Structure 1
Amino acid sequence: MSSIRSVAGAAISPIDPALERRWDRLAVEVGSPPFVRPGWLRAWAAAFGRASHLRLLTVERDGELAAALPLLAGRWALRSPTNSETPLFCPIAADAEAAGRLADLLLTAGRGVVDLDALAPQETASRTLLEEVAHSGVSVLRRPLRQSPYIDVGGDPAAFQRGLSKNRRHGLRRLTNRLRDAGEVTFEVHDGRAGLEGLLRDGFRLEARPWKRAAGSAILSRPAALRFYTAVARWAAAQDILRLAFLRLDGRPIAFGYTIQQHSTLYFLKLGMDDAYQRFGPGVVFTQRLIDHAFAQPGLTQLDLLGENEQYKADFASGTHEQLRLQIFPSRRIAPLQRAAAVSAAELRTYLVNRMSEQTRTRLSAVRNRLRR
């Protein structure tokens, strides 16, 4: 990894463990999400073959690290270290001044196009970066990516339950009673400091539902994803932020959640369940139990469900957080051509996807995942 330290030519120098520790300390101090901490990105880059391209754009102030932005440095572009396994992405900054300086450096880094995916505007540093880029006069392309649901868990859990739709409350009662009639139901949350490998083995087995295996999208179907989530779990357990949750029936795990708890947020990354127990609605019951758990944790104010706003999530959600893709074209000479090419490629991709049948999309997804393996 390297650090871009100056505006003129965006000097890149090797990063050492001391700078990595400063990066992590800053991220924790300012409340950045775990997905921009070095532990997460080190695991991501190693698993997906991008370790040699990972860089860090930094702002130093009075001898202290004031802002940082992880990037992938290519010959013609700077990109965010993100892919389909990235819940969200954002800069890290001590304050608005540092975030603004980071934006200045990004615009003058001399690498052509800047492409930031899964950017989370709700993060303060992201908002500042977006404002600075908008005021700079350079050509940009800003496209919505998804709306990720979240649940406010800092209030009264009884009031939350009353706020659910009548159908959802009735359905939860019916499924919970049906499951209780079938045997002893327990809900457990583990921090991974003991028995981690066994917990991951049970969890990944539940996540690998038959339809996900067929499409090649299960963690166990993709060696890179398996390496990544295993490495992240080990790092998160060492940081005491890993939370692996299980819903069990007579001791047998029937639903699983891979979550990370940092600051005041519980991030819900992966859900798995045993389809042999589908009549009990294990995924829905598990989600309700996880919500109950989040409400009971001191200091937690939000359960971030992440990903797309699927119906079962929307039924519980308090609101959504936007994520977007931001492409910056700093070169005034060729920016119009670059932007036009990016727009055309996006429109063509959208057109082709919309013309495909669901069966064709599934087949192409399976082929893509096989190629990744």
Structure 2
Amino acid sequence: MTLKATTNWRFVAGAEVQSAIAEIWPVYNKKLNGGHPSIDCRYLTLLYEYFGRGSELLAISDDAVALLQSDGYGRWSTFLPSQSCVGTALFSKSLASDDVSEICQSLSAALPGRTTLVSFRKQDSRIAQLQPRHIIESFVTSTYGTTTDIDTSGSFEDYWQGRSKGLRQGMRRKIKRVEKDGLEFALSKCEQPGEMAAVLTEYAVLEMSGWKARSGTAISGTNQQSRFYEALMTTMSANGQAAAYQLILNNEVAASLLTIRENETMIVLKTAYRQSFSRFAPGRLLDYLMLQDVFGDSRTMVIENYTVSTMDDRRWCTGQRDIIDWDFFPSRVVRELVCASRRARSLLSRS
């Protein structure tokens, strides 16, 4: 079902959304975003297939596209399951702040019902999303978290020498601890579609051994999240654009990383390690071995982690930036009320 069109926007809803994503999103991701893998069409199509509610709208204009969901009471936000790296919206990088204001105002007017808020969540300024220069009166922004990246265009040796002395010494100690205990370790890299089902089964064992199992968020091997990641890794690996890295410690999978890649950018989707090997820091040992492999692969020039990074994560990175949530309020009165409410909550939390 195609909903009403305006001068600037048209909407696709219902059963037509998935096919419209497959048809339209690749065009916009290439035109506006250079084909960045964080919001690749195959990734988004599978996110919608496995986690969509069926009530989402695909909003399309000349200079922007967004997959939106209704949050009730006139509020809308970008479709954002927890498995998504960034919010599902793209804006032309050439837009000035006044252009963005006009686009968002017209979107608010065109959406069904009376719109009080449109939230563009997890916006990354590195790609074709909202940029710091777009901050205008109608937006209220907040920091979702700080993500990190690693430039892999040089040599691993130069990269590693550029890390802190403490990080390098710490890694040497970790390797010596493994060797002192007489354990053998190696890196395994799985890139074939036929390998991905077994990879996800092994990955599920790792997550089920840790805190995610206790919190109910782990890949279990049978839940919806497991099926999504198996489908994504299988789909992307069919074109040589996915790799699962595993740390093999004494013939057991001790840690695993799931990655996808496109246009010289690798995205780290998920990482997990076996709790019984925690004294050997298997996750960091896998990072170290994986980076050596990626630096030697000319297909990847940058690794994007897309996580809320810790201080320890930042010791490994060559770059970092904030991921921002942007709330657009068509009404100035509503915006001022929301800002006043947030200031009051902030003051109360400090008292």
Q: Same fold (TM over 0.5)?
A: yes
Report the identity percentage: 18
TM-superposed CA distance for 1:74, in Å, is 5.6
Contact 1:245/1:258 (<8 A) preserved: yes
Q: Deviations over 1:132-190 (max 9, x none)?
A: 562xxx52201111111111111122121112222211121121233245333221222
Compared with structure 1, are the counterparts of its residues 5 and 33 closer, same or farther at alpha carbon in structure 2 (3 Å cutoff)?
Answer: farther
- 8 Å CA contact 1:103–1:133 kept in 2: the answer is no
Partner of 1:164: 163
Measured at CA, do residues 35 and 97 of structure 1 come closer, stay the same or move farther in structure 2, by a change above 3 Å? same
Q: Counterpart amino acid of 1:281?
A: A
**What secondary structure sits across from 1:202 in the alignment?**
helix
1:264/1:213 CA distance change after superposition, 3 Å: same
Q: Residue 159 of structure 1 aligns to which amino acid in structure 2?
A: D
TM-score by length of 2: 0.83
One-letter amino acid matched to 1:280: F
1:41 is aligned to 2:39: no
Counterpart in 2 of 1:287? 287
Question: Structure 1 residues 162, 350: CA separation in 2 closer, same or farther (over 3 Å shift)?
Answer: farther
**Hey, what's the Cα distance between the residues in 2 that align with 1:131 and 1:155?**
31
Cα offset for 1:255? 0.5
Q: 2:269 and 2:6 mapped to 1: Cα distance? A: 36
Kindly indicate whether residue 120 of structure 2 is the aligned counterpart of residue 116 of structure 1.
Answer: yes
C-alpha displacement at 1:261, in angstroms? Answer: 1.4
Counterparts of residues 257-272 of structure 1 (less than 5 Å): 257-272=257-272
Following TM superposition, by how much is the alpha carbon of 1:33 offset from its aligned partner in structure 2, in angstroms? 3.0
- Bigger Cα displacement from structure 2, 98-107 vs 184-193: 98-107
Task: Give the aligned residue type for 1:80.
Answer: T
Q: 1:255 to 1:214 in 2, by over 3 A?
A: same
From 83, 86, 95, the equivalent of 1:85 is 83
2:323 aligns with 323
Q: In structure 1, what is the equivalent of residue 130 of structure 2?
A: 126
Name the structure where helix makes up a greater proportion of residues: 1
The alpha carbon displacement at 1:48 in A equals 2.8
Question: 1:184–1:3: structure 2 CA closer, same or farther, 3 Å change rule?
Answer: farther
State the secondary structure of the residue aligned to 1:213: helix
CA shift in 2, pair 1:310/1:50, >3 Å:
same
SS in 2 for 1:225: helix
* 1:364 aligned partner: none
Residue 56 of structure 1 is matched in structure 2 by 59
1:197 to 1:72, Cα distance in 2 relative to 1, 3 A? same
Q: Supply the AA of the counterpart residue of 1:157.
A: F
Structure 1: 5+ residue runs without aligned partners?
60-65, 356-373
Q: Secondary structure at the match of 2:22?
A: helix
Deviation at residue 317 of structure 1 after TM alignment: 1.2
Conserved? CA contact 2:143–2:324, under 8 Å: yes
Cα 1:12–1:230 shift into 2, 3 Å: same
Cα 1:132–1:185, aligned 2, differ >3 Å: closer, same or farther?
Answer: closer
CA contact (8 A) 1:266 1:294 kept: no
Amino acid in the other structure paired with 2:85? P
Q: How does 1:1-373 map to 2 (within 5 A)?
A: 6-7=6-7, 10-13=9-12, 15=16, 17=19, 20-28=22-30, 30-59=33-62, 67-73=64-70, 76-89=74-87, 91-92=89-90, 96=94, 104-109=102-107, 110=109, 111=111, 112=115, 113-127=117-131, 131=133, 134=136, 139-181=138-180, 182-220=182-220, 223-331=223-331, 335-341=332-338, 344=341, 348=345
Q: TM-score, normalised by structure 1?
A: 0.78
Cα distance in structure 1, aligned partners of 2:347 and 2:34: 35
Return the offset for 1:80: 0.8
The letter of the residue matching 2:105 is L
Asked whether the equivalents of residues 55 and 73 of structure 1 are also in contact (C-alpha less than 8 Å), the reply is no
Please tell me the residue identity of whatever aligns with 1:96.
S
Structure 2: distance between partners of 1:274 and 1:285: 13
In 2, the alpha carbon distance for the partners of 1:307 and 1:49 equals 22
Q: Bigger CA drift: 12-21 or 298-307?
A: 12-21
Render the CA deviation track for 1:13-72: whole Å, top value 9, x for unaligned.
Answer: 45574773342144246424334233222322333342331413232xxxxxx6433322
Contact 1:267 1:303 in 2 (8 A): yes
Aligned residues: 339
Cα RMSD, aligned residues only: 3.3
